[in-house]
Amino acid sequence: MPPKEKNSSWLYFQVVFAAAVWGGAYPFTKYLGTELSLLSIVTFRALIGTLALLFLSGSGLRPSDFKAGHLWKLLVLSVLGISSQQYLQAYALKYTLSSHAGWLIASTPIMVAGLMAALGERIGPFKIAAFLLGFAGTILVVLSKAGGAALTLPSTKGDLVFLLTAASWAVYVILTKKWLTSWRQAKVTTLTMLAALATLLPPWFAAGGPAEFAALTPRAWASLAYLSVLSSALAYLFWNNAVEGLGPVKTSYFIYLEPFATLLSAYLFLGEKAAAPAFAGGVLIMAGVYLVGRKETRTKILKGASSNA
């Protein structure tokens, strides 16, 4: 196999790996929340993710990257894309199924396109259809539950919080595009993760977070290893490589794998079974995402977009 084809195959493996790992992360987060505080989960993930990105991503950090004009932007991005994002997702999983999370977070590209339209981008027929399909699919997912289609407040509460995190990530993607266009994606992700860790460590130590790890069960340690090593370290690293090698648009298409990875992981790890209305709603959301993608080849608005599980 020629070197170029080998490199291309490796990049495709990396992006599939990242999307599948992020999609499969929600059930592990849901379980880990029963043994560990949400602050400890998010802080430990940020710690491992920061170390991995600093030593393995080749981000090329320089002292000039830490000047005041960049620091406040990185702080905003770290809150939107990492600390509050992961904290709220872990919180929402207390009130909803992991499979719901996988479908709802997949609506992020539709939200990105909607925000870009609000900022002046032309809305074509594909995007209008995408918004309608995404809205219909979201309603189906929110109103469904395993074994029926009744509206239940706890599930609805978790689903709505997940929609909030999808909107937060959409804002993160757009701000990254507008603020730090001269930086490689690896540098943006590394510094954002580092900023998140810097803000999480003080309250974590103050709350006695390290002591929580003494009583963790083997299943909890396995969940933590998945979330920190695979999801917050390798998946970010592989995703960055794919964005650099395949381009942001082609890479973003692979987020379609995430909801299906969530369904499989939730079934195998937690025994969750998705209700038919939720599955139908997820299919509508994915159809909407596909229609949004039909236009992204020109606008390229989904730079590095992912669910950041």
pLDDT digits (tens, 9 = 90+) for 22-80: 888 888 998 998 899 999 999 998 998 888 888 876 767 777 777 777 888 889 888 88
Q: Is the pLDDT of residue 146 over 60?
A: no
Higher per-residue confidence, 67 vs 126: 67
Residue 82 lies in a domain: yes
Instruction: Give the chain's domain count.
Output: 1
Residue 40 lies in a domain: yes
* Joined tokens for residue 166: 């999808």
List, for residues 264-279, the tens digit of each pLDDT value.
788 878 777 766 666 6
Instruction: With 0.85 as the threshold, say if the pTM is over it.
Output: no
Is residue 306 a part of any domain in this protein?
A: no
308 pLDDT band (50/70/90 cuts)?
low
Higher pLDDT, 17 or 241: 17
Specify if 247 maps to a domain: yes
Provide the percentage of residues in the chain whose pLDDT is more than 90.
Answer: 11
2 domain-assigned: no
309 lies in some domain: no
Print the domain residue range for 93.
9-299
User: Is residue 299 pLDDT above 50, yes or no?
Assistant: no
Is 304 contained in some domain? no
308 lies in a domain?
A: no
